[in-house]
Amino acid sequence: MLKIKPYWVKSPKWIRWIFPSYIWHIKTTQKVLHLTFDDGPDPEATPFVLDCLRKYKATATFFCIGECAKKHPKLLQRIKDEGHQIGNHTQHHYNGWNTASHLYAKDILEAEKWLYDSNYKNTFLFRPPYGKCTRKQRTFLKEKEYKIIMWSTLSADFDSNLTKEDVLQNVLKNTTESGSIIIFHDSKKMKEKMRYCLPKILSHYTNKGFVFKHIDASML
C-alpha cells in the first residue's frame, strides 16, 4: 500500500490560495533562489553550511531557535557577519497547534532577545515550527510586523524514511522556478543529509546561472 506522507515537498497552489498572507515564493524576474535553514545555530552543522555558502558567494536565511542562539552566540554572530539573514523560529520550537497563543507569543518575544540587534529590527521574518500556527497566533505576528515565510520546496531532510539521495532529488525535481524558497535544517539530527545535498544543490543551480540570496524586506 502506498504510504501518504504527512507533508508536501512542493507547496500546492490551493494551500497558497488558502493562506495568501504567508510568503511561499518570492516574485522576481531574475534567476534567484532562496535557501533557508531551520533549527540552528548548531556547532556540528552550521559551520559547514556557512563554509559552503561562502564558497559559492551565496547568502541564505537562517530561521534560528532562540534557545540555540543563546547557547551559541558566536555562531549566530558569524551568520550575521557573513551577510546572511536571521529569522525567528521561536525560543523552544513550539508547535503552534498544541500551544496556547499567549505562551506562543511569549516564546516568540523571548527568541527576539537572543536573535536580533539594531541591524535586524526592520526585517522581522518568522517561520512557524512544523509550519503550524493558529489564526490568533498569526494575528499576533501581524501586529508585531512579522512576515511569515513558508516554502516552495521542502527538502524533507527530517524524514527518517528518506535517504540522502531522496532528499537531494526532492529539491532538484521540485525547484524549477526563480524565487523558490527551499528548506533545509542546520541541526545535528539532519546534518548528514544536509552535508551530502547542499554542495550538490549549490553547484547544480550555480551552473544553471542561478544565484542564491537571503530574503529581506525589499523582496516582500
Distance CA 118, CA 122 (A): 8
- Type of residue found at 60: A
Distance CA 214, CA 98 (A): 30
Tell me the backbone φ, ψ of residue 159, rounded to 5 degrees. Answer: -80, 110
Across 177-202, average pLDDT: 96
Adjacent-strand bridge partners of 23: 149
Catalytic residue (one of 34, 38, 39, 89): 38
Percent of the chain with pLDDT over 70: 95
Topology at the third CATH level for domain 13-215: TIM Barrel (3.20.20)
Across 171-194, average pLDDT: 96
Asked if the model's pLDDT at residue 94 lies above 80, the reply is yes
pLDDT at site 6: 77
Per-residue pLDDT reduced to its tens digit, 103-135: 999 999 999 999 987 665 556 899 999 999 999
**Would you kindly state where each structural domain of the chain is located, as residue ranges?**
13-215
Percent of the chain with pLDDT over 90: 87
Catalytic residue (one of 34, 84, 89, 185): 185
pLDDT at site 119: 60
Per-residue pLDDT reduced to its tens digit, 10-66: 988 888 999 999 999 999 999 999 999 999 999 999 999 999 999 999 999 999 999
| 3-class secondary structure per residue, the chain | CCCCCCCCCECCHHHHHHCCCCECECCCCCCEEEEEEECCCCCCCHHHHHHHHHHCCCCCEEEECHHHHHHCHHHHHHHHHCCCEEEECCCCCCCHHHCCHHHHHHHHHHHHHHHCCHHHCCCCEECCHHHCCCHHHHHHHHHCCCEEECCCEECCCCCCCCCHHHHHHHHHHHCCCCCEEEEEECCCCCHHHHHHHHHHHHHHHHHCCCEECCCCHHHC
186 in Cβ contact with 7 (< 8 Å): no
Confirm whether 185 is a catalytic residue.
Answer: yes
Query: Given pLDDT bands bounded at 50, 70 and 90, which one contains residue 220?
Result: confident
Distance CA 68, CA 111 (A): 10
Region at 30 (left for phi over 0; alpha for psi -120 to 50; beta for the rest): beta
Query: Given pLDDT bands bounded at 50, 70 and 90, which one contains residue 1?
Result: very low
